[in-house]
Structure 1
Amino acid sequence: MPISRVGVDVAKSVFHVHGVDHHDQVEWRGKHKRDRWLDAIVKRVPMGAEIGMEACASSHHLARALQARGYHVKLIAAQFVTSYVKSNKNGRVDAEAICEAMGRPHMRFVAIKSVAQQDVQAAHRIRSELVQQHTSKANQIRGLIGEYGRVAPTGIGQLRAALPCWLEDAENGLTNARLEGMNGLFQGARSRAR
């Protein structure tokens, strides 16, 4: 019988595959190196078959590559696959669990992102990380200046305006070492804000 559904466990160097026919009989188990697994799929699995993977770092890219070759690709969130793992977790067992999970009638799947959607997501994640770093640096400055009896104003803009005044105040109670350290933090906070 031809293979109708394949579960693929994506890894750094070796991909495990588990393929079944329309009657859920196992037709193919294998493991292939990252640079050869796609050729193995094309050679063994007819176009139009369903191929499933856990949604992970490279799964959207791999899904687009499979779709370009005529396969129906389904991405599954890892937490939905876990309940189908039957024994000790490894690549072969995970591929089988993915294959079984994708065959369930009420399974929820992750939408495959286009390159443009991934670009937008990456930009949002980078910006979020920069905002988090910026906030962390501002909180660090507030804490350090508070140790010298200064109360930092609320808000990044007000903190940014107060810092030069503190650094230029000859009677601020800060030692030269602390002033240099604060100036370094201030320069770092300014460069991140741009």
Structure 2
Amino acid sequence: MTESNSHKEDPSGNSTKRLVKVLVIIGIGIPVLVELMTLFNLINVQIFEGEQEVNQQNESIAELRAIEEGDTLFADYSNALTINLLRIKVSAQEWRFALGLNSVDSLVQQQLQVKVDSLKLQSGKILSGTGNNPWEIDDTVPLAMSAEWELPNGDIPGILYISSFQYIESDSTKRIQQEIPLGKIPVRYNQE
């Protein structure tokens, strides 16, 4: 009799073991799933969307050369700027677009006023300019400024609309606006 009683399993012990197994699977499975989705988005953006972008480019944008890191904005004006940072920072929680600019001429950097009017993503969505994303100013020579925008996951910027305020005389300025198609933007994964 004692043998048959010892072979019977305790139902509360089975449900506890089953619950522990399910919790372990969920605890390990969710972070692995998030990392795999992030990896898939990176691969999709870098490989597949690059080919689609070439095939679906608008003719008006195709006529303009895409700007990349190291290129100069407002080159024909006194307050020319060099792009020193152009990145998409990806983490498990968010995607961020970082833009950094340097003043080319250290003599006019005190008069430098730049505003990003908006940022058009490849999905067609428009993000507001530097109003919600103030420039971080580094008072080095040449003057450096940077700003970041939060992006929808998997979406990357296509066109930057930017304005520079050029001083004509001591008391007047002229607003110069440019539509800048962005070239291939490096994507950097930040593990947090």
Tell me which interval the TM-score lies in, with the shorter structure as reference length: under 0.3
| Greater percentage in strand | 2
* Superposition TM-score, scaled by structure 1 size: 0.27
| Greater percentage in helix | 1
